[in-house]
């Protein structure tokens, strides 16, 4: 399995960053793959794909990093995702507690 490393500052905005499966979607070429996260240097803004998956992502590509959570039926009624929007130099520009319907972010 390949791994993706990313800045610890980005990880701190999301619960359970370490030791959880992530899906990566590359908006530039449509590649999709699963991996895990290795925390990188805090504040570096680095998001680096390692191993075989590195062939699927090039520097400058726009990617979506998906995390999953398992909840029971009752929790599912009130669960809201955390969406971290990342701007230039991989800095967090805003954090949403829901994703508006039919929105392209």
Provide the annotated active-site residues.
Answer: 36
Rounded distance between C-alpha atoms, residue 5 and residue 38, angstroms: 4
Give the tokens for residue 60. 């400058």
Residue listed under structure tokens 């805003």: 94
Between the two ends of the chain, the Cα-to-Cα distance in Å is 29
Rounded distance between C-alpha atoms, residue 34 and residue 8, angstroms: 20
Q: Is 35 annotated as a binding residue?
A: yes
Q: Is 51 annotated as a binding residue?
A: yes
Annotated binding site for substrate: 35, 51-53
Annotated binding site: 35, 51-53
């Amino acid at each position: 399995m390949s791994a993706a490393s990313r800045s610890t500052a980005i990880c701190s905005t999301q619960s359970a960053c370490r030791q959880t499966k992530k899906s990566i979607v590359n908006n530039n070429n449509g590649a999709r793959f699963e991996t895990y996260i290795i925390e990188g240097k805090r504040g570096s803004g680095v998001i680096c794909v390692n191993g075989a998956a590195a062939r699927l992502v090039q520097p400058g590509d726009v990617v979506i990093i998906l995390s999953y959570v398992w909840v029971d039926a009752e929790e599912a009624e009130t669960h809201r995702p955390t969406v971290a929007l990342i701007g230039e130099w991989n800095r967090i520009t805003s954090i949403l507690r829901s994703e508006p319907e039919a929105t392209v972010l």
